[in-house]
């Protein structure tokens, strides 16, 4: 045991648990925590311009790397500012650690208030308690369904000094399904005449894509993905049917005629209750397996070891099938992605972005019309390279900054709207200060475009609150020392994006657009 402050115990415990980056905004009540990080050279501290960005950046970092970063914010307003990022991380099953204090003048219990957007929350009562609490936090972060964890270390605990026993990081075995259920699943898949695989976020988080592809190829089972699981199988793969867009009639009809669907790490309920189908559901979250239909075989387990177990059985008991499904996939995709029937200018813009990006680039989808369009029409070739915003404006840019810190060798591009970008545009200063070379494409229609369209089409043109006054985004970028571009068509966008990426510096590309039609 060594005598140290609570702040030192916090920093040393974070490092021992594998944290290498802390996103924070310094303030009252956490000085000793900041000083503890200063004394821990293995941890990089990055200051943001708003607490909301701390949790969004930690989220982006976790999603592309599979590792855990921490957000350090002041109690009270700081913690509540960070709650948007916590809610987003909760929605997409992203493991982030949020550390704050306890406000001396607070009349409420912030631990209670964050219960709906965290997996576990606790408060340290002494410096010696800090390593124990952090160690338990990481047990929750590394086991079961990954979601945010929230820790309070009050100022008096950070400042106090006493003998502290530091704890070593602990490895945790991930659960594999029940052996009888695994054997039953393997038999169902081996005997299926028309199998399919439906993937969700759990495949990304578990790193199960290699086994998934091997199983799909052995069974010749085409694969559909969820939004966040795009890339677990390359869109170039002959068995890939892209995102499971059920509003596209031919894909939905094809799925309805599968006799067995293996649903891995997804909350989708497609096919449940259909007596003509068997659904094999693999999920690490027991709640997702509750209330399933009578046609479901539910397996509680982590996607990676569970898929590996099923593949071992299938590959040793049933011969690999011939490429019988490839032509079906090719026919559906040829209809769905026929350039002659696509919306314009969305299709050309999306093609321009894809053409300018290397295969391993990270694409972050904002909550705007081009972001929605990308779910179906932006091809993704590698895992953990397509990140969604989970329904919140302002998420995309700071998530991208966190992703770039985790994977500095990869190009990272954001597709944002004008309204959403201005939520966290101040983080351009963060990008410049720390050399976080993300490129933001701002599709500017001077509106909250999707809401405006709804007001026009569904509410007799009663327009209120959706038309925006915006800055000149090129000049805004330049004011931060960021290179700005303006592209007025797809050709100019492809050139501007190529130039921005080649500069290896933060960049903003404004693309003025008008009203856009939508398909889905």
How confident is the model over 272-290, as pLDDT tens digits?
A: 778 889 999 999 999 999 8
For the cut 80, the answer to whether the pLDDT of residue 78 exceeds it is yes
Whether 270 and 139 share a structural domain: no
Q: Are strands 120-123 and 507-512 parallel, antiparallel or unpaired?
A: unpaired
Q: Is residue 519 part of a domain?
A: no
| CATH number of residue 377's parent domain | 3.40.50.970
Q: Could you tell me if 111 and 233 lie in one domain?
A: no
Same domain, 205 and 254: yes
Domain that holds residue 291: 179-336
Distance CA 458, CA 177 (A): 48
| pLDDT surpassing 80 at residue 88 | yes
pLDDT at residue 353 greater than cutoff 80: yes
d(CA 260, CA 236): 24
Higher pLDDT: 274 or 504? It is 504
The answer to whether the beta carbons of residues 394 and 374 sit under 8 Å apart is no
Of 135, 164, 193, at which residue does a domain stop?
A: 164
Strand partners for 283: 300
Question: 157 and 31 in one domain?
Answer: yes
Would you tell me how many other CB atoms lie within 10 Å of the CB of residue 26? 13
* Start-to-end Cα distance in the chain: 60
Is residue 207 within 8 Å of residue 66, measured between CB atoms? yes
Q: In this structure, are 332 and 349 located in the same domain?
A: no
Task: Please give the residue that has the higher pLDDT: either 293 or 53.
Answer: 53
Tokens for 513? 């657009």
| CATH number of domain containing 261 | 3.40.50.1220
Residue 483 lies in a domain: yes
CB atoms < 10 A from the CB of 109, how many? 12
Give me the chain's average pLDDT, please.
95
Please give the pLDDT value at position 103: 64
Give the C-alpha separation, 94 to 403, whole Å. 13
Q: Is the pLDDT of residue 264 over 70?
A: yes
Q: Where does the pLDDT of residue 190 fall: very low under 50, low under 70, confident under 90, or very high at 90 and above? A: very high
320 shares its domain with 241: yes
Confidence of residue 1 (pLDDT cuts 50, 70, 90): confident
* Co-location of 36 and 90 in the same domain: yes
DSSP element (H, E) containing 235: none
Query: 39 pLDDT band (50/70/90 cuts)?
Result: very high
pLDDT at 105: 56
Which of helix, strand or coil describes residue 302?
A: coil
Ranking 44-53, 202-211, 448-457, 476-485 by mean pLDDT, the lowest is: 448-457
Tokens for 479? Answer: 């004011």
Q: Kindly state the average pLDDT of the residues 131-141.
A: 97
Residue with tokens 């990089």: 44
Please state the domain count of the chain. 3
- Alpha carbon distance 155, 235 (integer Å): 50
Rounded CA-CA distance 242/256 in Å is 16
Q: How far apart are CA 62 and CA 56, in angstroms?
A: 10
Last residue of a domain, one of 278, 305, 336: 336
Question: Is residue 173 assigned to a domain?
Answer: no
Cα angle, residue 279 at apex, residues 277 and 284 outer, rounded to 5° = 175
Rounded CA separation 228/281 (Å) = 18
Residue 109 has pLDDT above 80, yes or no: no
**Do both 326 and 345 map to the same domain?**
no
195 pLDDT band (50/70/90 cuts)?
very high
Query: Of all residues in the chain, what percent carry a pLDDT higher than 90?
Result: 89
Q: What is the dihedral of CA 171, 172, 173, 175, to 10 degrees?
A: -160
Same domain, 327 and 344: no
pLDDT of residue 112: 78
Distance (Å, whole) CA 157 – CA 253: 60
User: Which run of H or of E encompasses 300?
Assistant: strand 296-300
Q: Report pLDDT for 274.
A: 82
Residues 128 and 276 in one domain: no
Which of the 8 DSSP states describes residue 426?
G
- d(Cα 287, Cα 31) in Å, to the nearest integer? 40
Asked if 46 and 95 sit in the same domain, the reply is yes
Does residue 518 lie within any of the structural domains?
no
């Amino acid at each position: 045991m060594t005598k140290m402050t609570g702040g030192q115990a916090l920093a040393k415990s974070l490092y021992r648990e594998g944290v290498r980056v802390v996103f924070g905004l310094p303030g009252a009540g956490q000085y000793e925590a900041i000083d503890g990080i200063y004394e821990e050279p293995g941890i990089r501290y990055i200051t943001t311009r708003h607490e909301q960005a701390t949790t969004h950046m930690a989220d982006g970092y976790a999603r592309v790397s599979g590792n855990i970063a921490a957000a350090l914010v002041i109690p009270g307003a700081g913690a509540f500012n960070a709650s948007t990022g916590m809610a987003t991380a909760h929605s997409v099953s992203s493991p982030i650690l949020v550390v704050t204090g306890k406000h001396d003048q607070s009349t409420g219990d912030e631990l209670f208030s964050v219960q709906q957007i965290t997996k576990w929350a606790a408060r340290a009562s002494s410096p010696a308690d800090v390593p124990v609490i952090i160690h338990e936090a990481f047990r929750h972060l590394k086991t079961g369904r990954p979601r945010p964890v929230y820790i309070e270390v009050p100022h008096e605990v950070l400042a106090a000094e006493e003998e502290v026993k530091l704890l070593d990081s602990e490895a945790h075995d991930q659960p594999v399904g029940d052996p009888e259920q695994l054997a039953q699943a393997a038999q169902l898949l081996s005997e299926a005449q028309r199998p399919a695989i439906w993937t969700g976020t759990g495949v990304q988080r578990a790193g199960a894509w290699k086994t998934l592809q091997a199983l799909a190829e052995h069974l010749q089972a085409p694969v559909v993905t969820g939004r966040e699981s795009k890339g677990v199988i390359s869109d170039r793969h002959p068995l890939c049917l892209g995102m499971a867009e059920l509003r596209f009639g031919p894909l939905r009809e094809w799925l309805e005629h599968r006799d067995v669907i293996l649903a891995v790490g997804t909350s989708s309920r497609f096919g449940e209750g259909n007596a003509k189908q068997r659904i094999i559901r693999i999920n690490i979250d027991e709640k997702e397996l509750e209330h399933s239909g009578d046609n479901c075989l539910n397996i509680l387990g982590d996607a990676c070891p569970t898929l590996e177990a099923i593949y071992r059985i299938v590959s040793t008991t049933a011969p690999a099938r011939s490429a019988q499904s490839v032509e079906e996939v090719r026919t559906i995709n040829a209809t769905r992605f026929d350039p002659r029937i696509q919306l314009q200018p969305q299709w050309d813009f999306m093609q321009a972005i894809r053409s300018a990006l290397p295969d391993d680039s990270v694409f972050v989808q904002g909550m705007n019309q081009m972001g929605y369009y990308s779910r179906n029409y932006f091809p993704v070739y590698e895992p953990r390279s397509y990140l969604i915003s989970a329904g919140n404006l302002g998420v995309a840019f700071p998530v991208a900054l966190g992703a770039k810190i985790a994977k500095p060798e990869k190009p990272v591009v954001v597709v944002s709207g004008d309204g959403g970008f201005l939520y966290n545009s101040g983080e351009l200063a963060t990008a410049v200060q720390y050399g976080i070379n993300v490129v933001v494409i701002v599709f500017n229609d001077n509106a909250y475009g999707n809401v405006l369209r709804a007001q026009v089409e569904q509410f007799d043109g009663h327009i209120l609150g959706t038309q925006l006054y915006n800055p000149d985004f090129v000049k805004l970028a330049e004011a931060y020392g960021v290179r700005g571009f303006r592209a007025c068509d797809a050709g100019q966008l492809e050139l501007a994006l190529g130039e921005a990426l080649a500069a290896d510096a933060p960049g903003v590309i404004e693309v003025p657009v008008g009203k856009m039609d939508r398909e889905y």
